[in-house]
Structure formats: C-alpha cells, structure tokens
Amino acid sequence: MPNKPHKRSIKSWSLADSMTGYMWNWHVYTGRQDGGRASSLMYEVVTSLCQNLYGMGHHVYMDNFFTSPSLFQEQSENQTGACGTLRASKLDAPQPVKDAKPKAGDDPHLCKNNEFLYITWTDKRKVNLLTSIHNGSCFLKRVRSWASQNRLREVRKPKAVQLYSQHVGGVDQADKQLKYFLVLHRCLNDYERQGRARSGCPLAILECLARLTARHFSDNPELAVTRTW
C-alpha cells in the first residue's frame, strides 16, 4: 500500500456504533476466496458483519467502496436500512445517475428506483448517494463565499448528505479511542500488533464503551462499516 503511512499492515473490516465508536464486529481480511470479484467480496463483508443485527431496524452507513444496489436490496430484505456514497461507474447504477451533472449551487438531482433513492449533488465536487432510509428533503446552509457582499451565501444541502457525514465516522472514532490506550513494543510482528490492538491493550476502553453503549444502543440504530489498515 504505497499511499499509506504504514507500507505494510493487516487489513480488517469493522462495524462500529456511530455515536460511541463501540466496535460491534470486525473481521481480518485473509484474501479473496475462490477467485471472486471485488463486488461480491464487498457484498459478503457487509452481510457477514451485519448478520447478527438483521431484523432489529438498524441503519448502516458505508463509503463507496462497499455501496451497491444489490447489497442495499439484501439489507432491505433483512429489515436493515442502508446509506452510502456510490461510484457512478458501477454497472448496476442507473443511467440517470451516471448522466447527472449538477453544478455547485444547483438543487440536488433525485432518482427514485423502487424503495431506493439516488441523490446527486455538487458542493466542491459531485457526490452520489444511495439511501433506503432518507428522502430528498433539503435545508439551507450558510457557507463562506468571497464573491458575496457579506462573505456568506446560502446553499440547499440534502439532509441525507448531512446525516451521512454525521454517522459514517463511527469506525474512525473507534480507532482514535484505541490509539489513546495502545502501547506497543516496536519489535512486535504485524500479526501480534493487530491482535493486541483489537483484543489486548485497549480492553478497558472497549469495556467502558460497552457499558455506555448498552444504555442507548437500542435507541440509536446508526452504525458504520469501513475498512482499516
């Protein structure tokens, strides 16, 4: 991984609570099985992480590495909502989403397909969002603009984009909490470091998060899934 600060590490998939960062489930990536495609790999990763949460009405947020209409259909059939950014180049993305090119300041482009909503909106760059739990409503947000007289202007931002930004950082928060309590010797191998990071040194903070989460986990159904190194 030449673009990462640590050139060699172990990849893992994580599912965490969006408010506390409590890591609900995680898997270590051991390689692609049976020569499967990357799309089927992401499908299997998300469904396996969420397996014990199906039927409870939770909402899962993910980035464009995981999002696909087929995955969202599986989540919906298991009474689990989903929201995530979408790569318009994916084969199963609708053609109107691929062709949509709104400019900055324009209203979002909406495309409804069965129970799923595709949102295309441009702020500093174009954002494609797929969701099964939001509608196309917007709110006015003030942003800086040197071209305006008072250096501020109002833009219409989809509420789904705002909620996605709010909830998708659950795993990042979990990793930050782990780093505060992680003391590793420099001679440890990668597999030893990974094991202690997930189950050894930060055990106290995970237990603390578990106690905090137990009080609101049923009332806060927002979870985030991502990949970490």
Listed in sequence order, the DSSP H helices in the chain are 38-49, 69-77, 95-99, 159-167, 170-180, 190-199, 203-216
pLDDT band at 14 (very low <50, low <70, confident <90, very high): confident
Please report the DSSP string for 185-197 in residue order.
-TT--HHHHHHHH
Task: List the domain range (segments joined by +) for residue 183.
Answer: 12-228
In the chain, the number of structural domains is: 1
Domain-embedded: residue 123: yes
pLDDT band at 205 (very low <50, low <70, confident <90, very high): very low
- pLDDT of 218 higher than 80: no
Long-range contacts of 69-72 (CB under 8 A, 24+ apart): 69/93, 69/113, 69/116, 69/130, 70/43, 71/42, 71/43, 71/46, 71/47, 72/116, 72/130, 72/132
Q: Is the pTM of this model over 0.85?
A: no
* Token pair in block for residue 107: 């209203």
Residue appearing with tokens 């965490």 = 16
Domain-embedded: residue 40: yes
Domain-embedded: residue 209: yes
Domain-embedded: residue 110: yes
Domain-embedded: residue 4: no
Give the tens place of pLDDT for each residue, 110-168. 999 888 999 999 988 899 999 999 999 999 888 777 777 777 878 889 999 999 998 88
Domain-embedded: residue 105: yes
Higher pLDDT, residue 97 or 6: 97
Domain-embedded: residue 5: no
Domain-embedded: residue 155: yes
- Give the range among 30-39, 82-91, 111-120, 158-167 with minimum mean pLDDT: 30-39
